[in-house]
Structure 1
Amino acid sequence: MKDIPVHQLIERTNTGFEIRHFESGEENSKKGPMGAHRDDHYLFFLIESGSASLMIDFNEVHFCENTFYYILPGQVHHRINNSIAGGWYVAIDTQHIPSDFRNIFENQLFLQQPYQLNDVELKQYQQILCLLREKNNEDDNNAFFLPVLQSLIQSFSGMAAATFSNVHTPEKQLSRPAQISHQFKKLLLRNVRKVKGPSAYAGMLNVSESYLNEVLKKTTGFPVSYWITQEVMLEAKRLLYYSGLNVKEIAHTLGYDDHTYFSRLFKKSACITPLEFRDKHRK
């Protein structure tokens, strides 16, 4: 293995969403052993019964009954033991999670810790997860299938962001690369519409462009340019879906004077044109 594998959600679903309820032992028997890997999407776990363990970025994390947890895109992880765990697994493409919610998830200064749900919280999560699973299993040709599904996804991710916004993790010194990666992501979220150059972000962080690239490859598996493009495309997808702006206006909003170049960049990233994306997700 030359590099850590990256699992892409688009290879498994075209909705950018996946949900599954599993019983004790079911995950291992279906999937078999899964080595260390990264995902290009968010993962959420709700353990309802039993216990489980994951290794996440060299830290062993333990889950007990009624705990809730998430894994960020790019975090290296693998199962240690979940043969006696039952609960929910949810995978969500970043485009479905608003930036305010992502700020909560990504601005945890230390490795996120499992959250112990009380009885009321557990019931609320179980209700929305059951509803999400039912909606996701419907025929996607049904009227308003995608808008309703996406609304439910945002409700779920909003609940999760609210849950973790009040979590205080123990003090633990971050490594220098982890600090820089964390600071870069915060800068990117604030400046992506105006700032596209890797050297500009390196300058804001008072490091060289080559060092910033090295840091991000080490901590996330991808270089600076990848994350800039990903963030631009996420903004573009949101504008295509939620706004009434045409492609030329969206390109200009995102800082591109040449809308044809923007369209080529979008197609290279999303494998479809901006108009095809809008037509597909607004049907």
Structure 2
Amino acid sequence: VLFWVGVGRRVGEYGLTEPRVWLVACGGLMTLCVLLFLMRRTARYRWVCAAGFVLFAALAYVPALEPERVAVRSQLHRAVRIAGELELLDGEGALRLDAFRQIDSVSKPRFRNFYEAADYVADRDTAAFRRFGVPMREIRNAVPAEYSDYVLYGWNSAADTVEVVETYWSAETQRGFRVDGIGGYSALYTEWRSWNSGQYPYYELTDSTLNLHFAGLHPDVAVPAEELLGNLLRQAGIAPGSVPDEAAIREKNDELLVYRSKELVVVFSEVWFERSDSALRVDKVSVDVVLTR
């Protein structure tokens, strides 16, 4: 099922090519083998061999089923479909070269998809490509210069890319570090690990959640990453949503090491913050102790 879902997704988006035709053929043979061997009565390797022989002979000797012809028909259909969606065709179905002037940063992936399909057909079946009414070189020349690298070759120019500068800061426990206001909690959990050893409580931080696993001693807790960041910033007197600089992180070091909620307190020995593209997130943590009610 996963195989056919993947094939359907890929072919649905990009059409058939010769390797994909053979992929579908081999997948069909594989599926037939699975179905035959679901029952003992039909579980015969000779049926699989016979089906494979017939299938590959048909692809090799029946003109209409030749992989190259099947792929050309698929890519031609794909090119015509995309051209229609982009309104590149005139009333007679010929390509309007002036329509390529409408390429922009939003539509350029669709033009790239059209060019890929059209170029595939032009390389393998010039007669089929004539239905567009213009030669391939004129299509290349019609693409605006600022988008030609992407549409023709799939290259992103430097102007289309944005450099993201990442900065990492950390808050760490210092000598004399104290946590105040922790009365009223009934249990203390220590010796936390960052992996599942099956014995000690452990934690894991993903892009979306800090998960605390208590090894059966207490119900596990999941803290959303956004809530964790906002809570730490509030403890330090920094407005959630703001992006403090390194100096502010250093100044509020101790406060940024304690997460507090109604049910528990998490004390970290280290918290790493990542600042990227004017946004702040918790990149890495090291859990020291956890107190629960």
Q: Same fold (TM over 0.5)?
A: no
Alignment TM-score, normalising by the size of structure 2: 0.24
In our comparison, the structure showing a higher alpha carbon Rg is 2
